[in-house]
Amino acid sequence: MRHLMSPLDFSVEELDKLLNLANDIEANPEKYAHACAGKKIATLFYEPSTRTRLSFEAAMLNLGGSVLGFSSADSSSAAKGESVSDTIRVISCYADICAMRHPKEGAPLVASMKSRIPVINAGDGGHQHPTQTLTDLLTIRSLKGRLGNFTIGLCGDLKFGRTVHSLIQALIRYPNVNFVLISPEELRIPDNIRDDVLRKNNQNFKEVVRLEDAMPELDLLYMTRVQKERFFNEEDYVRMKDFYILDSEKLKLAKPDMQILHPLPRVNEISVEVDDDPRAAYFKQVQYGVYVRMALILTLLEVEVC
Ligand code: NCD
C-alpha cells in the first residue's frame, strides 16, 4: 500500500506515468466514469480549504465513487481530543482512501503509519502540499509542453508557502530549471530549502525583492498569497500583505508567452484585470487539479482502466 506525503514519493518515471494518465482522463473522461464505482474517499480537513477538498471530492465523483468527511477540526472528534492516529484507524473502516489536511506538520505522516488505507497529504502546516505540486507539474507540462528548460519566478510568501516548498523539491529533478525567488526580506525561502535542496543539488537560483526586476526573464511566474494564518502577529501580516500586486502595467515587462500560475486562493496579489490576459493560467490550473487527483486516486487504489 502506498501513501503520498511528499512529491518525492514518486520517481520522475512514475510522475510521468501519472501525468500521462491525467492527460488521458482529460481527453477521455467517459472511459473513467465508473472506474471507482463502490469505492469511497474520506476527506479529513482540519484546516479551511475550498479547492483541495472539493477537487478531491469532484475527482472521486467523476470516477463513479463516493465521498465522506469533515471540513473543520471543530466538526470532528478532534474537538473532543481524539488523536489523528485513532481517527485514521476509525476512518480505515469506512473508506478506501483518504486525503488529510492538518495545521501540524507531519500529521498526515503520523496518520499513514496507523492507516489501513492510502493516505494523501493534502497540506500539512507550512511544510508540504504534494497534490498542489502534481497540479502545478501537469499545468506546466500541458501549457509549456515540457518540464525543464525554463526560468520560473516564485513570488510572495516563500517562507510559509507550502506549495512553493513542494514545487521546488519536485522541479529540481528536471533539467535546466532556473529559479528566481522573489520575496520581501522577511518572507524569504527557509534555510533548509535554500541549503539542503537548492545549493546541495547545484541548482541555479537567485533571490530578489522586486518583481519588476525579475519579470523580463521569466517563462513562468508562480504567485502566492501571504499566509495570514501562519503569522504570529497581525501587524506583520498587514505590513506584508500587499507587498506584491501583479497588474497589467507590470505585465508589460513580461514575455508574451509567460504563464502565470497561482495555487489560489488569491487575495490582492493578482489584480482582477490580469484574469483577462491570455497568460493568466490560474483557473486552468484548477481544472488540471481535478484530472491529476483522479489519476492519483486510480494509481493509489491500483485501479487499471483499459
Ligand atoms: C494553497 C494551500 O492550501 O497551501 N491552497 C491550495 O491548496 N490551493 C495555497 C494557499 O492557501 O495559499
Instruction: Kindly report whether the peptide bond that precedes residue 48 is cis, defined as omega within 30 degrees of 0.
Output: no
pLDDT the model gives residue 210:
97
Q: Are residues 122 and 168 in the same domain?
A: no
Q: Are residues 145 and 270 in the same domain?
A: yes
Total count of domains within the chain? 2
Q: Are residues 112 and 214 in the same domain?
A: no
pLDDT the model gives residue 17:
98
| Contact predicate 98/117, CB 8 Å | yes
pLDDT the model gives residue 77:
81
Q: Are residues 95 and 77 in the same domain?
A: yes
Q: Are residues 96 and 185 in the same domain?
A: no
Closest CA to 254 of 285, 219, 225: 219
Mean pLDDT to the nearest integer, 185-203: 96
Q: Relative to the CA of 157, which ligand 1 atom is closest?
A: 12
Mean pLDDT to the nearest integer, 47-68: 95
Catalytic residue list contains 50: no
Q: Are residues 89 and 134 in the same domain?
A: no
Q: Which of 47, 52, 133, 261 to mutate to test the pocket of ligand 1 (most atoms within 8 A of CB)?
A: 52
In a domain, 82, yes or no: yes
Q: Are residues 121 and 138 in the same domain?
A: no
Q: Are residues 120 and 135 in the same domain?
A: no
In a domain, 2, yes or no: no
In angstroms, the Cα distances linking 251 to 89, 157, 226, 232, 280 are 50, 20, 20, 33, 10
In a domain, 11, yes or no: yes
Catalytic residue among 101, 127, 159, 225: 101
Catalytic residue list contains 230: no
pLDDT the model gives residue 79:
80
C-alpha cell at 189: 525561502
Q: Relative to the CA of 52, which ligand 1 atom is closest?
A: 7
In angstroms, the Cα distances linking 285 to 32, 108, 194 are 21, 24, 26
CATH code for the domain of 87: 3.40.50.1370
* pLDDT, tens only, 59-99: 999 999 999 999 988 878 888 889 999 999 999 999 999 99
For 99, list phi and psi in degrees, rounded to 5. Answer: -115, 130
CA angle 99, 152, 58 (to 5 degrees): 25
In a domain, 306, yes or no: no
In a domain, 305, yes or no: no
pLDDT the model gives residue 49:
87
Mean pLDDT to the nearest integer, 244-255: 98
* pLDDT, tens only, 214-238: 999 999 999 999 999 888 889 989 9
- For residues 126 and 227, give the distance between their C-alpha atoms in angstroms, rounded to a whole number: 9
Q: Are residues 171 and 257 in the same domain?
A: yes
Q: Are residues 72 and 143 in the same domain?
A: no
Q: Classify residue 68 by its DSSP letter.
A: E
Domain containing 36 equals: 7-128+289-300
- Across all residues in the chain, what is the average pLDDT? 96
Closest CA to 131 of 302, 295, 305: 295
Where helices occur in 71-114 by DSSP H, the ranges are: 84-91, 107-114
Q: Are residues 266 and 293 in the same domain?
A: no
Residue 205 has pLDDT above 90, yes or no: yes
C-alpha cell at 49: 480549504
In a domain, 1, yes or no: no
Q: Are residues 191 and 231 in the same domain?
A: yes
pLDDT the model gives residue 50:
85
